[in-house]
Amino acid sequence: AQTVTQSQPEMSVQEAETVTLSCTYDTSESNYYLFWYKQPPSRQMILVIRQEAYKQQNATENRFSVNFQKAAKSFSLKISDSQLGDTAMYFCAFMNHNTGTASKLTFGTGTRLQVTL
Amino acid sequence: KAGVTQTPRYLIKTRGQQVTLSCSPISGHRSVSWYQQTPGQGLQFLFEYFSETQRNKGNFPGRFSGRQFSNSRSEMNVSTLELGDSALYLCASSFWGSGDEQFFGPGTRLTVL
């Protein structure tokens, strides 16, 4: 079974600054996906960024980038130029890569990020 | 394109009752997954349906069941409700399942009294 660990329950960052959220995972699989999801207060969960384990290049999406260290089983999220709208709960998640099979996400416990003025 | 919709958004039930929650996926999506979100246990996978077949199931008791219809809409049912079933129930849809981006609905907030 896979496990995902987020060791930072809460973080705070000032607007325009950079913040890094940590995530580690444990799996015996060699092919999988990793995700960061954002859940704003009272709003629905949306995908921030996705990383395929077989790709060595770190994924980036505008102000969001990841540092994927496969050997260390680490998958951190960096948010640059933080904005007030980034305030949310951030979940790291794992999914096995088996084409045509079930889409089961295993989530970490989340990091609550507060962006302040 | 319309997003994932879930009905009802809020439900209040009493112990021992049963409840049915509904999820309409994004048009064209054939995979629908259900998750339970609680402060204590976090986000936990319930089950996933693809083309009306359950492909995977999480570690929940048999009181939790689901089904999917030919139009990909899905329902989940919880029988003999317990206080611990109070949670936000989220559904997510995708085209094929594994590896696809999962699009989440707003959730159904179930309160069991």
Q: Are A109 and A7 in contact (CB under 8 A)?
A: no
pLDDT band at B5 (very low <50, low <70, confident <90, very high): very high
> Chain B partners of A98 at a C-beta cutoff of 8 Å?
98
- Interface touch B107/A110, C-beta < 8 Å: no
Residue B18: is it exposed, middle or buried by C-beta count within 10 angstroms (0-12/13-18/19+)?
exposed
* Chain A, chain B: beta-carbon pairs less than 8 Å apart: 72
The answer to whether A96 faces chain B, any CB pair under 8 Å, is yes
Distance CA B83, CA A110 (A): 24
Q: Please answer yes or no on whether B100 and A103 come within 8 Å at the CB atom.
A: yes
A90 and chain B in contact, CB less than 8 A: no
Mean pLDDT per 10-residue section of chain A, whose length is 117 residues: 94 98 93 94 92 92 96 97 97 82 86 97
What was the pLDDT predicted at A100? 53
- Signed CA dihedral, A17, A42, A108, A6: sign only: positive
